[in-house]
Structure 1
């Protein structure tokens, strides 16, 4: 009875949606903390600030962010010159659509500790400023035969000092017991970082608190 029913993916839900030039310009005006959201209910995209997003939600999620825009626009300008914006807009739209199904699978496979870390970082006034990047980290570099740990990288901007960015690389599933890595940068210049074990929400809370204290100490040392 159901043998001829076609497969439907999440990407198919967004076949009529589009990330437009206007959305990307809005993202640029919002600045650090600006994100483009995919809304599974509306099956559409919209630009907003990361503070409006529920860190634990799975029906509204980030597909592109301000820091993604800055990085991509720099690359496209070097490659295409005056045609950079013309080339960038459709590339962002196509990539978001192509990756939609994989992105949703990664989100549903993301553990509680990662979402709690996002919650605690926002509580300490750090805003997500890019789409979470999922990737495989292998136990031995260059050897595909070794088991891989699914990782996620989150990039944050300090709300009061947006030139300060924090990158958190964590195992998507804390049950792997793999180490996380937290780094702090000032305008792309490395400030400090540390490995962290975040096997529960208490570890996430402690490390988010440490990030805030470390940034405050750095600003006291370097700002008049």
Structure 2
């Protein structure tokens, strides 16, 4: 039995996506390994350190993909999206579990501290290989993850954190802040170990608060 077969009886439904839409920013659909099923919840209810459930779709994913499917399929866009999310989630389940198992402490701690500072994950984490030489598609590569957050108190503000999956690589991370889709600020950082994650999350909070004072008062 493969890990995908573990979820053979589970299904992501239109009702789940409608619930996700009602929750809004910070809403996520998770796969629960114990229950072998999918559930809709808010990211702030999740413990980033546990590995028995993980995000497979988020509110941000819904907004972006629904616009695409509606433009392509018009009235059939909603059902086409539901079917695509359900199928792609099942098809990529093995890869998702491998990435979950390979996630280092530095990523987990960053997620914990971002949550503590009022930022909620609002999209499925995106994992990919970063090549040592851009444009030269051969090893060595670094496994990376992109996490997208929304400011809980100011949902027009989003933060993306791109970082190596394992701290031992010493690779640079990149943090970007946007407001209503417009760039606010960003900076590269070497998140070299889990103990530095708190200071970086604190800087994100400080930068966002400074932006809000300048523009929202």
Aligned match of 1:201: 194
Say whether 1:37 aligns with 2:48: no
Say whether 1:18 aligns with 2:7: no
SS in 2 for 1:35: strand
Say whether 1:51 aligns with 2:44: yes
Residue from 165, 181, 185 that aligns with 1:188 = 181
* 1:2-17 alignment runs, 5 A limit: 8-17=1-10
Alignment gaps of 5+ in structure 2:
none
Shift of 1:88: 0.3
SS in 1 for 2:40: strand
* 1:75-90 alignment runs, 5 A limit: 75-90=68-83
Residue from 205, 212, 215 that aligns with 1:219 = 212
Cα shift readout 1:88-113 (whole Å, capped 9, x = no counterpart): 00000001101111000001001000
SS in 2 for 1:198: coil
TM-score, normalization: structure 2? 0.98
Cα shift readout 1:121-159 (whole Å, capped 9, x = no counterpart): 000000000111100111112212241110000000000
Shift of 1:201: 2.2
Shift of 1:50: 0.5
Distance 2:39 2:211 in 1: 35
Cα shift readout 1:145-198 (whole Å, capped 9, x = no counterpart): 241110000000000000100000000011111000000011111111000111
Distance 1:111 1:201 in 2: 9
**Contact 1:197–1:203 (CA under 8 A) maintained in structure 2:** no
TM-score, normalization: structure 1? 0.95
SS in 1 for 2:153: coil
Deviation beyond 2 Å, 4+ runs, structure 1:
none
What do you get for the CA RMSD once the two structures are aligned? Answer: 0.8
Shift of 1:202: 2.6
Structure 1 or 2, whichever has the larger Rg, is 1
Aligned match of 1:4: none
Distance 2:91 2:101 in 1: 18
SS in 2 for 1:36: strand
Alignment gaps of 5+ in structure 1:
1-7
